[in-house]
Amino acid sequence: MIFRVPYQPLNLRLTITPELLERITSAVDPKDRQNLRTPLIGFTMALACTPLGTGSVSYIRTTCVGEEQGKGSIQIMNGSASKCYETKRIYGLQGRSKNNMSEKEPENPFFRDSKLCLYARGDGASAGCTMITSILSRAMKKPVRMNLAMTGGITIIGTILPIGGVREKTIAAKRSQVKMIIFPEANHGEFEELEENVKEGLDARFVSDYNQIFEIAFGYDH
Catalytic residues, by residue number, are 126, 169
172 vs 38: CA distance, rounded Å: 19
Strands (E), the chain: 43-49, 55-67, 73-78, 83-84, 114-120, 148-150, 153-154, 160-161, 180-184, 203-207
119 vs 54: CA distance, rounded Å: 22
157 vs 168: CA distance, rounded Å: 28
HSE, side-chain direction, 13 A CA sphere, residue 16 = 5
Q: 176, 155 in Cβ contact below 8 A? A: no
Q: Which residues contact 50 (CB under 8 A, 6 or more apart)?
A: 56
Q: What are phi and psi of 12, to 5 degrees?
A: -105, 145
DSSP string, 63-124: EEEEE-TT--EEEEEETTTTEEPPHHHHHHHHHHHHHHHHHH-TT--HHHHEEEEEEESS--
